[in-house]
Amino acid sequence: MNLLQTVVAFIVALGTLVVIHELGHYLVARWCGVKVLRFSVGMGRVVWSRRVGPDQTEWAVSALPLGGYVKMLDARDQDVKDIAPEDLPREFTRQNVWKRIAIVAAGPIANFLLAIVLFAGLYMHGIEEPATRIAAPAAQSAAAQAGLDRDDVIRAVNGNAVQGWSELRWQLIEAVVESKDGEGARIEAERPGRGRYTFTVPAATLRAVDLDGDVAGALGFNIRLPAPVLGKVDPAGAGGRAGLRTGDQVVAMDGQPVADIGAFSAAIRQAAARTVQLDVRRNGELVRVPVVPEAVSGKDGVTVGKIKVELLGRPDMIVVADGPFAALAKAARKVWDTSVLTIRMIGRMIIGEVSWKNVTGPITIADYAGQSSRIGLASYLSFVAVVSISLGVMNLLPIPVLDGGHLLYYSLEVLTGRPVPERFGEIAQRLGVGLLVTLMALAVFNDVARLL
């Protein structure tokens, strides 16, 4: 069932993004007076089509479900003699350079607009997410060294206010990326009974954080979780055999207080095949229960402890909601910030400061589509918006074959007053195809490596 949901979620997301992207090209081409011959969802051989409208534009579905295209009347694809005289003014290459730029740029712009609409809708509806109240920072972490403590609430990063955990995590990622330019992160926090205070995480500390991992966690920022209360207890598991019961609240382990669910889970994982003394509160009384967590081999081959009990509770949650104009402005800023961060990440990869493992392909995207759809509609729409931004940015890269490559040609035409030589364009196209195939191969390799 999960596999089917993942496949459906991936197809719906990808199909929507492709249609919106190509619809941008199509609508602006029609607005500029260019004749459109085919609108295809998918690449390769056409498996279904229907002709519609006065121009008898062919609306098609093609065999390869990755991508799509809009085919316009273009003298580069056919002999001018085969074009009807009345259609010559509507041929693509006969349009002025600004119209060609508008047509090519319309696809990525449509992706950005879709992301803005989706984010704005989510912000107006309201998004429930964990508050920025943190757990006790790990020893030696940047948060611990700054004096942060359990129950502190993070209010802003580098002057940017944060309401929910997703905003905090995003601002910390941006701070790590900007640290490559020697900038630290100024954190504003609030503590019950103390009020607001500010501290700075040095750029050197930020630069040491691996962008491939949990950035917030690496800096010592983790969501404050509730105290561990047991839900369902597996009678055949280590906890059930030891006598743990539903409703027990774990207050200490081996005489050391247990702060929350996260701390308890981590302690049990590290206690494989070793007897631990759990102090639990049961019906108002403290009871000591000796437990021997089972040794289980994890996915990475590391042995961890398991006691097979359910832990109840969730972190403090808030609903982040905005009015229409504020939501629209916030969504536009989100799209801009995400686009800029994506470009910076690409730049860091090119110069070797960020791992190429960050390049993901269709398998990882499908996995995220399935995961987000199982969480809920808001999570899924947010995922679609982020992928739409990525699609828009990637298409604007100055790589021949992509929209950005064509925009580069037309920009040179604006500067020089003449089109790029046809021979130069052909060579650049071959290089662009080679580069694109290489990037796709790298993405698939990274996807497979993650699975293994």
As annotated, the active-site residues are 22
CB 265, CB 293: distance < 8 Å: no
3-state helix, strand, coil in the chain (%, to 5): 50, 25, 30
CA distance 449 to 437: 18
CA distance 306 to 236: 12
Would residue 150 be called left, alpha or beta, if left means φ above 0 and alpha means ψ between -120 and 50 degrees? beta
SS3 210: coil
> Comparing C-alpha atoms, which of 267, 271, 228, 272 is closest to residue 246?
228
> Comparing C-alpha atoms, which of 269, 387, 275, 301 is closest to residue 9?
387
CB 97, CB 412: distance < 8 Å: no
CA distance 62 to 65: 7
CB 268, CB 292: distance < 8 Å: no
CA distance 296 to 304: 5
Paired tokens of 273: 């095949």
SS3 231: strand
The dihedral through the CA atoms of 375, 380, 382, 388 has a sign that is positive
CA distance 157 to 176: 12
Sequence-distant (6+) residues with CB within 8 A of 283 are: none
